[in-house]
């Protein structure tokens, strides 16, 4: 077990770090993780904590650990080890193109970079790691964390450690992708609001059964549960990515009582006509990351006889802040159609007028504000969201849309400006406008229209975006047009762009 003293190198000792170490020590030989037919004991995580300390012994101030987050055992162990030793996890997405990932590394300047062999094989990653002088570590299934031989002498920045647990990537809702600092204090509050017992009086123990985890670790919905399942002492059955067949196989094997399926996954299961018998052990299905259409939830419940419990949250919130539980679903479900549930323990919600910021009466639609220990802000300040919402007299929250133009693609929010700015970096592009198109599987998908300064093909422009955007940010359709429609004030009108160039419903089915 790791002997790392968070008080020495990463600020005051962390409750989350302490609890993780306690959980790993209960029964190191018990199964903690299964992946691709292989099982891994809790000692796999424990050795990762020890190895991370050993690898950084020569760099006692190296507190910021960048991890390229693939859904693989080594990555899971790297996440557990980073939080378990009280360091800061700097999230890096493997889905970025080489240029985008290298830029992230250069901008974020982590002291350590942990990556799978597949990502170390990317020349751009190696060049960026050398540029920032990072300690290089390879993650893998046989041994979670191993020093990687490199041609440079590591010179980590060794900045003073703060209270940040996770520097989480988010696509944001009002501008370019940004990073959100999730502190240890806020993460602890988030886990407590979800019912995880962390107080000293609670005697930790390992649970039976396994939770199925398929959400990307590069998204808060995946990363959150990596940590929470360890805190709960629950083993994980890991999928590298969601497929209906892969998920069904794990349900058959582990017979879980509770599973999580985002709206996109719910729809895929329905469309695949998965037999109802698969759900024999399942008491409820949790759903989040994207709006849950009532028709979809009801179709799923009718087919499988299992309640769907929606949640509402965001990266900035360090997880969910509202949702349904089984008791509320049974009592109120039929009467509160379309609601995302009620505020979680420790969370307050209110609706304010968009212009005056006056608090509105129950049932009125306005901007949602929230406050609580897991939310950013000090001294009990209210956090203003960009969501239009209402709260009824019984405290049930209804989301009515967004006050901005962000495109929600299966739970990933994409500001149109991110794609527009990437396109405008091409020398042939004059202007670009990106809009969201309805999609039956993902909710929304992006499409782009561009005007040119010099000849370029649509295929050339799409290829140009490959190394600049993540897969989910890339448009499903791109059109070169003569002009972009404008408002009377001469601003490009996204509604008119959508109407003029992307009215064909087949576009979103690509």
pLDDT tens readout for residues 253-265: 999 999 999 888 8
What pLDDT does 487 receive?
Answer: 63
pLDDT at 2: 37
pTM score, whole prediction: 0.80
Q: What is the mean pLDDT of residues 490-509?
A: 75
On the CB side of 361, how many CA atoms lie within 13 Å of its CA? Answer: 0
126: left (phi over 0), alpha (psi -120 to 50) or beta: alpha
pLDDT at residue 381 in the model: 87
Residue 326 has phi, psi (to 5 degrees) of -65, -40
Structure confidence at residue 12 as a pLDDT band (50, 70, 90): very low
Taking CA atoms, 210 is separated from 39, 251, 263, in Å, by: 12, 10, 22
Whether 504 shows a pLDDT value over 80: the answer reads: no
CA 366 → CA 122, 252, 358, 389, 391, distances in Å? 47, 44, 10, 6, 10
> So what's the pLDDT on residue 11?
38
Rounded distance between C-alpha atoms, residue 242 and residue 253, angstroms: 16
Q: What is the pLDDT of residues 413-460, one digit of tens each?
A: 787 888 998 998 999 998 899 999 999 889 999 999 999 989 999 999
Strand 284-287 and strand 258-260: pairing? parallel
Q: How far is the C-alpha of 24 from the C-alpha of 221, rounded, in Å?
A: 23
The percent of residues in the chain predicted with pLDDT above 70, rounded, is: 93
Confidence of residue 505 (pLDDT cuts 50, 70, 90): low
pLDDT confidence of residue 355: 84
pLDDT band for 225, please (50, 70, 90 cuts): very high
**Mean pLDDT, range 190-218, rounded to an integer:** 89
Alpha helices in 115-166 (DSSP H): 117-120, 123-132
Mention every residue, 6+ apart, whose C-beta is less than 8 A from residue 217: 69, 70, 71, 75, 76, 79, 223, 226
pLDDT band of 29, cuts 50, 70, 90: very high
Residue 5: pLDDT over 70? no
**Distance in angstroms (rounded) separating the CA atoms of residues 85 and 303:** 45
pLDDT above 90 coverage of the chain, percent: 69
Tokens 């107080």 — which residue?
Answer: 199
Put residue 28 in one of left, alpha, beta given phi > 0 → left and psi -120 to 50 → alpha: alpha
| pLDDT tens digits, 114-135 | 999 999 999 999 999 999 999 9
Q: In residues, how long is the chain?
A: 510
Model confidence at 508, pLDDT cuts 50, 70, 90, reads very low
Distance, CA of 460 to CA of 136 (rounded, Å): 35
State yes or no: pLDDT of 198 exceeds 90.
no
Question: Going from the N-terminus, what domains does the chain have, and what CATH number goes with each?
Answer: 6-193 (3.40.50.12780), 239-402 (3.40.50.12780), 408-509 (3.30.300.30)
Residue-wise burial string across 86-109, b where 16 or more C-beta atoms lie within 10 A, e elsewhere: bbbbbbbbbbbbbebbbbbbeebb
Output the average pLDDT for the chain. 89
Say whether pLDDT at 32 is over 60.
Answer: yes
pLDDT in tens, 127-185: 999 999 999 999 999 999 999 999 999 998 777 668 999 999 874 333 345 788 999 99
């Amino acid at each position: 077990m790791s002997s790392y003293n968070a008080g020495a190198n990463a600020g005051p000792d962390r409750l989350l770090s302490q609890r993780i170490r306690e959980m790993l020590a209960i029964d190191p030989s018990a199964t903690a993780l299964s992946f691709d037919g292989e099982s891994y004991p809790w000692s796999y995580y424990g050795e990762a904590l020890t190895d991370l300390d050993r690898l950084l012994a020569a760099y006692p101030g190296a507190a910021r650990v960048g991890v390229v987050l693939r859904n693989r055992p080594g990555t899971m162990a790297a996440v557990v080890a980073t939080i378990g030793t009280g360091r800061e996890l700097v999230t890096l997405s493997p889905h970025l193109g080489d240029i985008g990932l290298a830029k992230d590394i250069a901008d974020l300047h982590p002291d350590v970079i942990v990556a799978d062999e597949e990502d170390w094989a990317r020349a751009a990653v190696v060049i960026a790691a050398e540029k920032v002088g990072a300690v290089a570590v390879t993650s893998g299934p046989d041994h979670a964390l191993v020093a990687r031989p490199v041609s440079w002498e590591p010179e980590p920045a060794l900045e003073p450690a703060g209270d940040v647990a996770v520097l989480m990537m988010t696509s944001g809702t009002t501008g370019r992708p940004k990073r959100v600092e999730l502190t240890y204090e806020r993460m602890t509050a988030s886990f407590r609001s979800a019912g995880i017992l962390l107080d000293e009086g609670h005697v930790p123990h390992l649970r039976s059964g396994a939770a199925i985890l398929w959400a990307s670790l590069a998204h808060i919905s995946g990363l959150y549960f990596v940590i929470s399942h360890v805190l709960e002492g629950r083993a994980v059955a890991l999928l590298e990515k969601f497929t209906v067949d892969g998920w069904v196989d794990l349900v058959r094997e582990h017979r879980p009582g509770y599973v999580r399926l985002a709206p996109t996954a719910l729809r895929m299961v329905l469309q695949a006509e998965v037999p109802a018998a698969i759900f024999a052990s399942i008491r409820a299905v949790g759903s989040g990351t994207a709006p849950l259409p009532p028709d979809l939830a009801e179709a799923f419940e009718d087919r499988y006889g299992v309640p769907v419990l929606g949640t509402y949250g965001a990266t900035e919130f360090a997880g969910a802040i509202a949702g349904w539980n089984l008791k509320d679903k049974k009592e109120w479900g039929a009467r509160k159609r379309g609601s995302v549930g009620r505020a979680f323990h420790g969370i307050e919600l209110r609706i304010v007028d968009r212009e005056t910021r006056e608090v509105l009466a129950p049932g009125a639609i306005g901007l949602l504000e929230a406050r609580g220990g897991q939310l950013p802000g000090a001294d009990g300040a209210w956090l203003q969201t960009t969501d239009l919402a209402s709260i009824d007299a019984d405290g049930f929250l209804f989301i009515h849309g967004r006050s901005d133009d962000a495109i929600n693609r299966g739970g990933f929010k994409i500001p149109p400006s991110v794609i527009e700015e990437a396109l405008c970096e091409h020398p042939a592009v004059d202007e670009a406008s990106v809009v969201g198109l309805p999609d039956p599987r993902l909710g929304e998908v992006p499409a782009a229209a561009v005007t040119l300064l010099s000849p370029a093909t649509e295929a050339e422009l799409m290829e140009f975006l490959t190394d600049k955007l993540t897969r989910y940010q890339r448009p499903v359709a791109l059109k070169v047009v003569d002009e972009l429609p404008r408002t009377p004030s001469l601003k490009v009108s996204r509604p008119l762009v959508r109407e003029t160039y992307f009215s064909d419903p087949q576009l979103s089915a690509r």
